[in-house]
């Protein structure tokens, strides 16, 4: 059974979501403030966490920051609908996905299963994937860049893996969303752009100053093939 940590100060909403998740086969533990949520997330008892952005004592973005400093536990953020600043900041800090509130329990379950499915696929044995100075081991979500360990979130790893498998070719945002994030690309969804921006920063620039991941306007992204 998958153990889910639900961190949201809205006790009524938490109870409703927990009941639905348990009907879908999840085991849920709910807490209602960020500090308790961080402690629980780092306890090692959960496979995934759902974290609300707006909470007392410690907000969701700072809670995510503290979790990411010590753990790669998959985290799905709950954000106010249309609240781009918190959503994008959460993705930059390493959230695996987000769901705008108010959300339907069915959508939440679908997003959770997509994240967990990507993790399950990653646990399947796979050969090392190389593209120039980039080395990826999908079986353990491990990466090296120019001989040094490359720290990536789960979402960043899967997106970079998709690009590496087609190095030198343009990959559309729709394909990246489907194959990297496990969901169709939604209208006005900027999560791909945020993840790619973070990966670019981690890879740095090439000797001629170009980014290793190029934007091809109107088409998608391309990982430069050495």
pLDDT of residue 174: 92
What's the structural domain count of the chain? 2
Lowest-confidence range among 37-46, 115-124, 203-212? 115-124
- Check whether residue 57 and residue 161 sit in a common domain: no
pLDDT of amino acid 83: 63
Flag whether pLDDT at 121 surpasses 70: no
Higher-confidence position of 183 and 151: 151
CATH code for the domain of 149: 1.10.10.10
- The CATH number of whichever domain residue 58 belongs to comes to 3.40.50.2300
Please give the pLDDT value at position 127: 61
pLDDT reported for residue 21 = 95
Kindly state the percentage of the chain with pLDDT values over 70: 94
Task: Please state, rounded to an integer, the average pLDDT across all residues of the chain.
Answer: 88
Residues 112 and 152 in one domain: no
Host domain of residue 104: 3-122
The 3-class SS string of the chain reads CCEEEEECCCHHHHHHHHHHHHHCCCEEEEECCHHHHHHHHCCCCCCEEEEECCCCCCCHHHHHHHHHCCCCCCEEEEEECCCHHHHHHHHHHCCCEEEEECCCHHHHHHHHHHHHHHHHHHCCCCCCEEECCEEEECCCCEEEECCEECCCCHHHHHHHHHHHHCCCCEECHHHHHHHHHCCCCCCCCCHHHHHHHHHHHHHCECCCCCECEEEECCCEEEECCC
- Say if pTM beats, i.e. exceeds, 0.75: no
Look at residue 26 in the predicted model and tell me its pLDDT: 95
Q: Are residues 115 and 20 in the same domain?
A: yes
- 173 and 144 co-located in one domain: yes
The residue from 122, 151, 181 where one domain ends is 122
User: Does residue 123 register a pLDDT over 50?
Assistant: no
Across 123-128, average pLDDT: 52
Whether 118 and 191 map to the same domain: the answer is no
């Amino acid at each position: 059974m998958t153990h889910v940590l639900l961190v949201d100060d809205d006790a009524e909403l938490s109870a409703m979501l927990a009941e639905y998740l348990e009907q879908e086969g999840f085991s849920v533990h709910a807490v209602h403030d960020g500090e308790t949520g961080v402690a629980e997330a780092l306890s090692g008892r959960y496979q995934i966490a759902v974290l609300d952005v707006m909470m007392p004592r410690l907000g969701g973005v700072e809670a995510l920051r503290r979790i990411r400093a010590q753990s790669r536990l998959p985290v799905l953020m709950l954000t106010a609908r249309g609240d781009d600043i918190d959503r994008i900041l959460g993705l930059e800090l390493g959230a695996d996905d987000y769901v705008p509130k108010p959300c339907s329990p069915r959508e939440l379950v679908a997003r959770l299963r997509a994240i967990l499915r990507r993790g399950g696929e990653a646990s399947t044995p796979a050969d090392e994937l190389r593209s120039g100075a980039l080395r990826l081991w999908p079986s353990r979500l491990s990466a090296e860049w120019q001989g040094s360990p490359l720290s990536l979130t789960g979402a960043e790893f899967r997106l970079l893996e998709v690009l590496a498998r087609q190095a030198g070719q343009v990959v559309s945002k729709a394909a990246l969303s489907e194959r990297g994030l496990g969901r169709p690309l939604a209208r006005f969804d900027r999560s791909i752009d945020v993840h790619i921006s973070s990966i670019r920063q981690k890879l740095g620039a090439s000797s001629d100053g170009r980014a290793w991941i190029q934007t091809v306007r109107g088409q998608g992204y391309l990982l430069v093939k050495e």
